[in-house]
Amino acid sequence: MRISVAKTYKLYIGGKFPRSESGRVYPVTDAKGKFLANAAHASRKDVRDAVVAARKAFPGWSGATAYNRGQVLYRVAEVLEGRRDQFIAEVSASEGLAAKKAESLVDAAIDRWVWYAGWTDKIASVLGSANPVAGPYFSFTVPEPTGVVGILAPQGSSLLGLVEVLAPVLATGSTAVVVSSAERPLPAITLSEVLATSDVPGGVANILTGRASELGPWLASHGDVNALDPTGAAPAERVELAREAANTVKRVLTVPAAEPDWTSAPDLTRLRRYLEAKTVWHPLGV
């Protein structure tokens, strides 16, 4: 009999895989309670490090051409596809699903990533405008990324839900600090490895494994986080998070009480939420 290699995973911050500053880990089990691996148990300091990394990465990522961002995100989908079997195994174990069901969720997640990748160079022409103002001025409005987005990823849907909350943030040019599902973190950890080995610059996406209830308040109150997605927070905790977020006029995503059905077709809602509209004016004349 072969003894399997028991894994202890780390965080993903700034393109690197550090241990939690706190040194903490927690055991991850499958849906039936069987030990799968140890995951890093992120702390407040890890959140702050991740926000610093996300802020540092923001000028480069938001300043990249939309075409370039689209290419990078499509590359992520390619690498995701390459790791399809591993994701199916992890989603199946994490969510306690039959292989067939896990397979369809993983395929949907990959396809969803491709869908968002294709939006990078289209969203401005769909949401921007030339403004027909009543005066001798050239006026136009362009959407711009909001900045650093804090995401509490869905607790239930370990991969498809994660992709649905992360990909629109990256597609619009914002950068992200994500707290993964606490009980089902393995697909998030593997997604970190995918992001690290595709062309996504370090710091653009930072993934922390840990507890939303512990880390959410630090994201909500952080002065350098511009928007908050509270999907993975317990409904009872969301009010307090939203109140904290108000101190810096954060954009707080409105999310349904229960986790939505992520397999239903996406629309522009999540892309729109991470965009600011900038209107530019210039006089006309010769």
Give the binding site for another protein (CB under 8 A).
Answer: 126-127, 129, 131-135, 137, 139, 141, 146-147, 226, 238-239, 242-243, 245-249, 251-252, 254, 267, 269, 272, 276-283
- State how far the alpha carbon of 125 is from the alpha carbons of 188, 266, 271, in Å: 32, 19, 13
Q: How far is the CB of 239 from another protein (least distance, A)?
A: 3
Q: Please name the helix (run of DSSP H) or strand (run of DSSP E) that holds residue 274, with its range, or none.
A: none
Decide if 20 contacts 8 (C-beta within 8 A).
no
260 DSSP 8-state letter = P
Give the distance from CA 79 to its chain's centroid: 17
**Distance (Å, whole) CA 244 – CA 80:** 35
Decide if 37 contacts 187 (C-beta within 8 A).
no
- Residue number with CB closer to another protein (10 or 273): 273
Q: How many CB atoms lie within 10 A of CB 189?
A: 23
- Residue number with CB closer to another protein (99 or 246): 246
Q: How far is the CB of 240 from another protein (least distance, A)?
A: 8
Residue located via tokens 């998030």: 188
Q: How far is the CB of 272 from another protein (least distance, A)?
A: 8
Q: How far is the CB of 32 from another protein (least distance, A)?
A: 36
Q: Which long-range contacts (CB under 8 A, 24 or more apart) does 282-286 make?
A: 282/137, 282/138, 282/139, 283/136, 283/137, 283/138, 284/136, 284/137, 284/138, 285/136
- Residue number with CB closer to another protein (106 or 241): 241
Q: How far is the CB of 74 from another protein (least distance, A)?
A: 25
Q: How far is the CB of 132 from another protein (least distance, A)?
A: 5
- Residue number with CB closer to another protein (16 or 243): 243
Q: How far is the CB of 227 from another protein (least distance, A)?
A: 9
- Residue number with CB closer to another protein (143 or 154): 143
- Residue number with CB closer to another protein (31 or 277): 277
- Residue number with CB closer to another protein (157 or 226): 226
- Name the residue among 157, 163, 161, 220 with its Cα closest to residue 184: 157
- DSSP letters along 84-112, please? HHHHHHHHHHHHT--HHHHHHHHHHHHHH
